[in-house]
Amino acid sequence: MADGALGAVFRVREFRVVWVAELLSIAGDQLARVALAVLVYGRTGSAAWAAATYALTFLPALLGGVLLSALADRYRRREVMIASDVLRAVLVGAMAIPRLPLWALCALLVVVVLLGSPHTAAQGALLPEILHGELYERGLAVRQITSQTAQLVGFASGGVLVAAISPSMALLGNAASFALSALLVRAGLVDRPRPGASDEGDAPADAPVGGLRGAVAALFEIATDPRRRALVLLAWLVGWYVVPEALAAPYAAQLGEGPAVVGVLMAADPLGSVIGAWLFVRFVPAQTRARVVGVLAVGAGLPLVVCLFHPAVPLTLVLWAVSGMLSTAYLLQTQASFVRATSVVGRGRAIGVAASGIIAAQGMAVLIGGVLADEWDPSTAIAVAGAVGALLSVGAAVAWHRANRHHREPADTTVSASG
């Protein structure tokens, strides 16, 4: 396709629907995270409670990706997305009940995050059916850019909004965002049959198994496929490159800077992600993207190694932003190549398991980075994380090069139902 503009994806009606629905949910989620932090801390006066509640907005996604993602392969993907949004709207609305006990608030939050996993798996598996050929990579880049931008804006404005309308009203706003998302998906997406279903709509006899057994089966399938195994390893190694964001506060303190610098440092990676996604899809030719994945993965760790020399804040911002640019670029392509290499019938479960691995890898890398920062200092921990990520990426890149040497991704022959 001659037109290199990312805006080409917006000519596809179904993508516009998915994009707007996702943007609504992201904005609502960011508002809810701020609201929950304010609500819990205001009621308990405990920073530990506030931090634990914030962690609950992420951690259950690991379990949900393993246990629930197969729902995106056993049922119609549009209906999985709608059901997930409707249930989350109801549960988040219940969280807005005044003086709800903290244990109940946390329990509802866990279920809400768990329900996000089948929605994410269904959406990820459906996107290649909506965007074909090179449009798929562009769609991934657009989603990355808008999600990172929405998170930046959400965190920047969330505190002001919560202060103006109260935490309970902010939670109701998040519930409304899920409801609107469900309505958009219901009205704007084609009602496709279940993956692999017959013309009568029956589920395939070999529909992927869910739960822990299904997750183990998906991991085995990925592990025995050299191409997908290398891609997943590269994707999971991105965890080492989020360590700087987690250590922004102690790193700023090490440089003798205050809280204002912490927010600026934390914004460096998302800003780099936005720029990296745009540059990669806009200027790197489609036929060369898969070949440079390994180089970009290794390169993403090298700027972080420079932190060993305690660079000043301006240089640190540049280094972290460059790392974010390169890591986002290679992650976009690993996702695209992985999805194309996966059967449409088991795509939802495979995406869910791979995404759960990314979450787990990030958690482990951040934990190790924190331990190293306490043992040595934050700048050394960040440099070690970058070096480990780069070194491990060399091995994964070699494996990817060997597996992909004689392979050519097939052309997308799916017939579009929209546009």
CA distances from 41 to 102, 116, 159, 249 (A): 11, 25, 13, 20
Nearest to 63 by CA among 360, 418, 342, 312: 360
Q: Which amino acid is at 201?
A: G
pLDDT, position 416? 34
pLDDT, position 300? 97
pLDDT, position 338? 93
Q: What's the mean pLDDT in 122-150?
A: 87
Q: Would you place residue 67 in the very low, low, confident or very high pLDDT band (cuts 50, 70, 90)?
A: confident
* Whole-angstrom distance, CA of residue 322 vs CA of residue 317: 9
Q: How far, in whole angstroms, is CA 401 from its chain's centroid? A: 25
**Sign (positive/negative) of CA torsion 250, 254, 259, 264?**
negative
Q: What's the mean pLDDT in 204-225?
A: 72
Q: What's the mean pLDDT in 259-266?
A: 78
The residue with greater pLDDT, 108 or 67, is 108
Domains of the chain (ranges; CATH) run 1-193 (1.20.1250.20), 211-408 (1.20.1250.20)
**Does the pLDDT value for residue 206 go beyond 60?**
no
Q: What's the mean pLDDT in 256-263?
A: 79
pLDDT, position 310? 93
**Does the pLDDT value for residue 332 go beyond 80?**
yes
Q: What is the pLDDT of residues 71-91, one digit of tens each?
A: 888 889 999 999 999 999 999
* Whole-angstrom distance, CA of residue 289 vs CA of residue 133: 13
Residues ≥6 apart with Cβ < 8 Å to 333 = 137, 280, 289, 290, 292, 293, 296
The residue with greater pLDDT, 69 or 87, is 87
**Does the pLDDT value for residue 1 go beyond 50?**
no
Token pair 């990426």: residue: 393
Q: What's the mean pLDDT in 27-52?
A: 74
**Does the pLDDT value for residue 397 go beyond 60?**
yes
pLDDT, position 344? 82
Q: Would you place residue 408 in the very low, low, confident or very high pLDDT band (cuts 50, 70, 90)?
A: low
Q: What's the mean pLDDT in 136-151?
A: 84
Q: What's the mean pLDDT in 253-281?
A: 86
Q: What's the mean pLDDT in 247-262?
A: 85
pTM listed for this prediction: 0.77
Q: Would you place residue 246 in the very low, low, confident or very high pLDDT band (cuts 50, 70, 90)?
A: confident
Do 84 and 119 form a contact (C-beta atoms < 8 A)? Answer: yes
- Cβ-based neighbour number of residue 45 at 10 Å: 9
Token pair 């360590």: residue: 243
pLDDT, position 212? 67
**Does the pLDDT value for residue 128 go beyond 80?**
yes
* Helix spans in 45-134 (H): 47-55, 60-67, 71-74, 77-95, 102-130
* Whole-angstrom distance, CA of residue 347 vs CA of residue 345: 6
Percent of all residues in the chain with a pLDDT value above 70, rounded to a whole number: 86
Mean pLDDT is highest, among 30-44, 196-210, 321-335, for 321-335
**Does the pLDDT value for residue 299 go beyond 80?**
yes
Residues ≥6 apart with Cβ < 8 Å to 227 = 337, 341, 400, 403, 404, 407
- Cβ-based neighbour number of residue 221 at 10 Å: 18
* Whole-angstrom distance, CA of residue 264 vs CA of residue 303: 18
**Does the pLDDT value for residue 113 go beyond 50?**
yes
**Does the pLDDT value for residue 204 go beyond 60?**
no
* Whole-angstrom distance, CA of residue 58 vs CA of residue 114: 9
**Does the pLDDT value for residue 306 go beyond 50?**
yes
The residue with greater pLDDT, 411 or 243, is 243
**Does the pLDDT value for residue 190 go beyond 80?**
yes
Residue 35 phi/psi, 5° resolution?
Answer: -60, -45
Q: What's the mean pLDDT in 45-53?
A: 67
| Cα-based torsion angle of the residue sequence 163, 166, 170, 173 in order, rounded to the nearest 10 degrees | -120
The residue with greater pLDDT, 55 or 149, is 149
Do 89 and 173 form a contact (C-beta atoms < 8 A)? Answer: no
What average pLDDT does the structure give for the chain? 84
Percent of all residues in the chain with a pLDDT value above 90, rounded to a whole number: 38
pLDDT, position 199? 46
Quote the tokens at residue 365: 């890398």
pLDDT, position 92? 93
**Does the pLDDT value for residue 352 go beyond 90?**
no
